[in-house]
Amino acid sequence: MDLELTAADEEFRREARDWLAAHVPAEPLPSLETAEGFAAHRAWERELHGGRWSAVTWPEEYGGRGASVLQWLLFEEEYHAARAPGRVSQNGVSLLAPTLFEHGTDEQVARVLPPMARGETVWAQAWSEPGAGSDLAALRSAAVRADGGWLLRGHKTWSSRAAFADRAFGLFRSHPGGDRPHHGLTYLMFDLAAPGVTVRPIGRLDGKPAFAELFLEDVFVPDADVIGEPGQGWRVAMSTAGNERGLTLRSPGRFTAAADRLAALWRAGADPADTALRDRVADALIGARAYQLSAYAGVARLTEGGTPGAAASLTKIFWSELDIALHETALDLLGPHGELADAAPEAPDHGGWADGWIFALAGPVYAGTNEIQRDIIAERLLGLPKGRR
């Protein structure tokens, strides 16, 4: 792995840093888990698109810059160091878009990606169902053949962004009676404002609707919104899951920036005699740096033709556990004030540490629970026998 950046990469980083310095709002935007905050973050996506920073690795014809994966890492480091707003389009840009590039038609790519890049269409992820979360293959929501398309029926839950998003993507059982549960599934995109769709927000620990339930009653979806072949949705979904567990959803820049802020907190007011807390700060810094170097090594493998594969499960466990440890250390440093929400004037960092901690708690659960990831590592990477399910 070569850690020396080319002149072009250095110029890319400088351009990103300069643009962010000139455009990142001076005050944090309202939480994107509120209607007001969602609208503000959608406007920020338009601002990013204006500078061609909303999807840097996409081809220019779809609103990107055609940047390399390494340059995306550099952009992410600058983005988080600049304290830029959270990305309301992340489900679309980081999960659906790579899936469309790999499995979608030319028409789908040309139709779906440009409004996604402009922040005009924000996407929700509609995978989990009651009784089918970690065991995704147990899903029961159905896609029934209709003239010119499919009718969706069922119930999705814990759908990220769905409370305020425009469209969603998910898996549906289209060919019942298959010999294995992950056979006979179809991957579809659908409109959250379509007739037959009911969106019921789910309050998070702080009451904000970060998720939603979706009730689907004969929701028509045209054939043009099927991704991949009908009945072959599992293969398409594994492409999405690989991106979700791997690099694109949780870039190392997010953790290195947070670890740097944690170290600043320590220097600003921690008790030097509390060596236990000091060691936790050091562990967070080391963990963030290790994840960063691991990501650079992963990019080197991808550049040489490799794929994330089952190793993405290692990454997912690492960043999700690091995220919790890092934020818990910050809250212990801040004391009782650290628990204040963003609406409280006295909340340190505008409540960012408390908000980040609440979000981090979900890390070991979404994108496939860490227990599932450990099973994958045991079976596919270590060659151990399957355990009892």
pLDDT, tens digit, for every residue of 313-342? Answer: 888 899 999 999 999 999 999 988 888 877
Average pLDDT, the chain: 90
* Token pair recorded at residue 100: 């469309």
Strands 185-191 and 167-173: antiparallel
User: How does pLDDT run across 99-153, given as a tens digit for each residue?
Assistant: 999 999 999 999 999 999 999 999 999 989 998 776 778 899 999 999 999 999 9
Q: Thinking of the domain 123-231, which architecture would CATH place it in?
A: Beta Barrel (2.40)
CATH code of 7-87, in short, is 1.10.540.10
Domain boundary assignment for the chain: 7-87, 123-231, 250-382
Residues with Cβ within 8 Å of residue 210, at least 6 apart in sequence? 33, 160, 163, 202, 204, 359
Cα-Cα-Cα-Cα dihedral of 28, 77, 65, 51, to 10°?
30
Among the listed ranges 233-247, 271-285, 357-371, which one has the minimum average pLDDT value? 233-247
Rounded to an integer, the average pLDDT of 204-208 is 80
Residue 245 has pLDDT above 60, yes or no: no
DSSP letter, residue 24: S
CATH code of 250-382, in short, is 1.20.140.10
Residue 367 has pLDDT above 80, yes or no: no
Question: Sign of the C-alpha dihedral, residues 223, 228, 232, 233?
Answer: negative
Instruction: Cite the active site residues.
Output: 244
> How deeply is 52 buried, as exposed, middle or buried, from its count of CB atoms within 10 A (0-12, 13-18, 19+)?
middle
